[in-house]
Structure formats: C-alpha cells, structure tokens
Homo-oligomer: A and B are copies of this chain.
Amino acid sequence: MATDATLHGTGEFGLIDRITRGLAHDPRVLVGPGDDCAVLAVAGSSVLVTCDVLVEGRHFRRDWSSAIDIGRRAAAASLADIASMGGTTTGLVVGFGAPADTPAAWAVECTAGIVEEASSVGASLVGGDVVESPVITISVTGLGEALGQAPVLRSGARVGDVIAVSGRLGWAAAGLALLSRGFRSPRALVDAHRFPVPPYASGPWAAAAGATSMIDVSDGLIADAAHIARASDVVMSIDTTGWEVPEELQSAASAFHVDPREWMLTGGEDHALLATFPAGVTLGGGFRTIGTVLERAEGDDTHRSGVVVDGVERSGDEGYRHFSQG
C-alpha cells in the first residue's frame, strides 16, 4: 500500500521538499536545490552543476535502444539542464553501475554515447566511478558555466512576458507510444525516444537575449510550465491555436486516434527549452512564441497549477511521474 510514509507516497518532489527544508544556508550555494542546476561558488567562480540518473527498466530498455543511444540520452539530460540555465557544459562525471555479467562492450559503447553527446557542446567526460549493481544505473553529473551571463532561473518570469519554446515537443512521447505497442517505425519518432536532440545553443542565446526564466522540458510542457509558474508566482497561459503539428506526429496520432497536441503538452524527455522573455524581444535562437505570462490572482489556491492552456486550467501532474509504480 502506498502511503505518505513511502517514496511512492511522497513522490519525487515531496521527498526533495523534505530534504531541502532542512538544509542550512551556505553563502557559496548561489542557487540551491529546486532549479535545473545548482550554482556553486567554488575556487572563485560560479559553477553550474546538475545530476541526472537513468535506471534500466525505468528510463531505458536495452532491447529498445542501443548502448550508444542510452549513453547519449543520459548525457543529454545534464547538458540540457545546464543549457536551460543559459550555460554551457564543460565536463561530465559519470557514476556507472552494472551487473558483473554485463558485456564490457555494452559499457564501453554506452560511454562512447556519453562522450559523443558531450562533444556536441564541446564538453568532455572527465571522470567517474564504476561499481557492480544488480541493475544498470547511469548517474551523470554535469559541470558548466554561464559564460558571463547570470544564470537564468525558474523564478524570474514576470507578468506580460512572452512564453516561448525551442526544440521538439511530443516526439519522445510519440516514439514511446509506438515502441510500447510493438512498432519500430516511423524511425524519426522512435529515435526521438531513444535519444533526444535538445536545442543546446538556444540556452545561451536566451540568456543573452534577456530571458527572464527558463527550464528544460523533461517532465512535459505543462508540468514544467507549472514549475516556472510556482517559482515565479505567475500564471503561464499557453495558446495552442497557432501550433504547427509536425507531419510525423500528426500521422502517428491519427493512427492511434489521439490528439497530437496532447503529446506536445504532456510528453517529456525531448528536452526542449521553455523560456519567458520580456514582451517586445525579437525571438531567435530557435524560439517560437506559445503564450503569455499572466498575473496570479490574489487568493488563488496555492495548489493551482498556474498553467492555462487555451483558456482552460491544466494540472501540472500530467507529465512524467517518478515513483508512480508501487
């Protein structure tokens, strides 16, 4: 039975909340837990640092994805976190756990995938740890820097800002839906589940253009917009009426009799970048406008998601959930 006394009951965010509540204030922790990255004053500089853990069976399947693809995806999660602060990753550190009978070639190829993805932003694999574990576990920590810009947090969105997104929405969700039903094509969607193609360069572009808030879409557009809404105490109003639905998504959605916009609104793992900009900014860097930041009315129930889609409030719980299986 799942109760609040287990991780299933508290969930990822409940646990993180309980953990972070007790942390002492350290002036060197410029940004603590709760954003895409922490920002740490170390050796006289501000270092962006983030950690993402992938577990076999939970986040990937070896029969669906190659070792290289799984490595790329593991790295992408951290690289996208750093991009979503407006930063660029310098190095990755990997904690790798695997059963003793894991093919060594699999581990080597997985690492090659991590190195390949990292090198796409000029980052290096700098170290790590290798241990025996009953399940393949890949823990990637990214270290980066904001290159002279202040890191873009989740908490800076202001009423009147435009909401914009760069990168794919819903592709990984469509790919997962296909794989779950035994399909191995269309290739573009299946590959989108296997490894994301985050718009890394859009992050520093947004920071330079004055983005007021930013997050990487790993839990789903609505869920991650809700994170900005909560941190910034605003309402994120998203308008899908002008959306162009990519042909690939449209076809797959038709076959499954679903609305492709739902994949785009709730599908995570594509690692698009969601940002807010002051009204009037000329968008570039791959960003397209998807909405407007509205005021959160006085007396709003604090449990409201803060996300409105086409005028209707949507719950932030519709994206990816951790500890959802008891």
Contacts and interface: CB of A to CB of B under 8 A. Distances in A.
A240 interface: no
Contact of A139 (B4, B7, B45, B53): B53
B102 A42 contact: no
Interface in A127-173: 127-135, 137, 139, 141, 143-146
Contacts of A322: 130-132
A57 interface: yes
A281 B124 CA distance: 38
Contacts of A139: 51, 53, 95, 129, 137, 139, 141
A145 B5 contact: no
Contacts of A10: 104
Interface stretch (A105-113, A205-213, A261-269): A105-113
A121 to B, nearest CB: 12
A184 interface: no
Copies of this chain present in the complex amount to 2
A126 B19 CA distance: 11
Contacts of A91: 28-29, 38, 40, 42, 49
| Interface bin, chain A | 35 or more
14 contacts: A10-B104, A19-B107, A22-B115, A29-B126, A38-B93, A42-B144, A44-B44, A51-B128, A53-B129, A55-B97, A133-B135, A134-B134, A134-B135, A139-B139
Interface of A: 2, 4-10, 12, 14-16, 18-19, 22-24, 26, 28-29, 32-33, 37-38, 40-47, 49-55, 57-59, 90-91, 93-105, 107-108, 111-112, 115, 119, 124-135, 137, 139, 141, 143-146, 322-326
Q: Which 9 pairs between the two chains have the least Cβ-Cβ distance?
A: A43-B45, A38-B127, A139-B139, A43-B145, A8-B100, A95-B139, A38-B126, A53-B95, A26-B124
